[in-house]
Structure 1
Amino acid sequence: MNKSFARIIKQTGLVLTSLLVCAFLFSACYTFKDISIPPEIKTARINYLDNHARYINPQLSPQLTDALRQKINNQTRLTLITSDEADFDIAGFISDYSVTTSGISNQQAASNRLNVSVHIIFKNRKDEKKNFEADVTRNFDFNASLSLQQAETQLMPDILKNLTDEIFNRIFSNW
C-alpha cells in the first residue's frame, strides 16, 4: 500500500508539472496585454481631442484627453512630448454624443442610451504605412427617469475608461 501511494504521488506530481509547463508555454505564446511598440519609437504626442458633436459635454474633451495621456504614460515606455517631432502623433475628435431611447415599458421610455463616438487619427512618423484613422464608438445605457446631466455624472467614469481602453487598444495592440 505504501508503494502504490508513493506511485500515485509521483504520477500526480508528473501531471502537475506537465500542466505547469504547458501553462507557462501557453502564456509565453499569448498575452492579454499585447502592446506592440517598435524599439525605435520613443516619443508620442497626444493632441487635445476636440468636441465636434452636435451636443457638447464640456467635461468630456479635457477629461478624455487627460485619461488617454495618463494611460499611455503609465502603460508604455513612451515619453509624452508636445513637439511636432513625436514618433507617434495621436489626434482626434468626439464626433457623436447623442441620446436615444433604448427600452420602452408601458408605452414610455424605460431606458435611454448615450452614444459616444471618437474619431482617432494616428500617425507613425517612423513608418507611414502604419498611419490610420478609425472611429471608436461606445454605448452607455441609463434609466430614463434620470436627466441627461444626472446620467452623465453617473456614467462619466465608465465613459472615460471604456473609450480610453478602446483607443489605447486600437493604437497599441496587435489583434
Structure 2
Amino acid sequence: MTIKHYFILLITALSFTACGSYSFTGAKVNSNTKTFQVNYFQNNAALIEPGLDLDFTNALTDLLINQTSLDNVKSNGDLVYEGEIVEYRISPTTATADDTAAQNRLTISVNVRFYNKQDEEAEFEKRFSFFYDYDGTSQLIGTIKTTAIEEIFDQITQDIFNASLAQW
C-alpha cells in the first residue's frame, strides 16, 4: 500500500469513529441508559373515545422503539413514561353564514410524567396537546377519525420524545 492508501484508510476510520455517538433522531441518551418503560396511559378525558388509551400507549412505545436503541421493559426502566389522556374534545373552529360549523377541530391532550434514573434534572411533568381540523359537514368517523387520531398521536409522541430525549 502507498502512503495515499494509508491516509485514505486513516481518514475513513476517523470519520466512522467520530460519528459513533451521533443519533439521526437527535436523541441524547446517557450511555448507562439501556431500557425504557411506558406505563398505561389511562383515558381521563370528559369525552371518552374507546381504545384511545391503549392506542396512545402503543404509539408512544412504538416511537421510542423506532427512534432509540433502548430496550422496552415492563418494569424498572431507566426511563419511565406515564400519565393520562386529559382531553378529547370536538369543537367548531369556523362558522358559515347560517351559523353552522364550516370546520371542526378534534383536540387531544395528554399529561406526561417522565422519569430518568440517570439524570433526575431531565425529569418533568408536562401537558402535550395537538389538534386536527376537518370539514364541518363531515362526521368524525371512519377514515376521518383514524387519520385525525394518527396525525395527533404522531405529533404528540414526537413532542414527548423531543422534550425527554432531544431536550428541544
Same fold (TM over 0.5): yes
CA contact (8 A) 2:25 2:67 kept: no
Q: Which amino acid aligns with 2:141?
A: Q
Partner of 2:116: 124
Change (3 A) 1:39 1:32: closer
> What TM-score do you get using the length of structure 1 for normalisation?
0.76
Partner of 2:67: 75
Q: Which runs of no fewer than 5 residues in structure 1 stay unpaired?
A: 1-27
Indicate the structure (1 or 2) with the bigger Cα radius of gyration: 1
- Give 1 or 2: higher helix fraction: 1
SS in 1 for 2:118: coil
Match of 1:38 among 30, 35, 43: 30
CA contact (8 A) 2:43 2:85 kept: yes
CA distance in 1, matches of 2:25, 2:67: 10
CA distance in 1, matches of 2:103, 2:24: 33
Alpha-carbon shift at residue 165 of structure 1 (Å):
1.5
CA contact (8 A) 2:30 2:118 kept: no
Deviations 1:36-65 (A, max 9, x none): 111111111101111010011112211111
CA distance in 2, matches of 1:73, 1:31: 14
Deviations 1:117-175 (A, max 9, x none): 00010011222222110111101111111223344234122122222212222211132
Match of 2:92 among 77, 88, 101: 101
Matched, 1:171 2:167: no
CA distance in 2, matches of 1:37, 1:133: 19
> What TM-score do you get using the length of structure 2 for normalisation?
0.79
Paired residues, number: 146
Partner of 1:153: 146
Matched, 1:52 2:44: yes
CA distance in 1, matches of 2:139, 2:105: 12
Q: Identity across aligned pairs (percent)?
A: 31
Alpha-carbon shift at residue 74 of structure 1 (Å):
1.6
Q: Which amino acid aligns with 1:129?
A: E
CA contact (8 A) 2:35 2:77 kept: yes
CA distance in 2, matches of 1:42, 1:32: 18
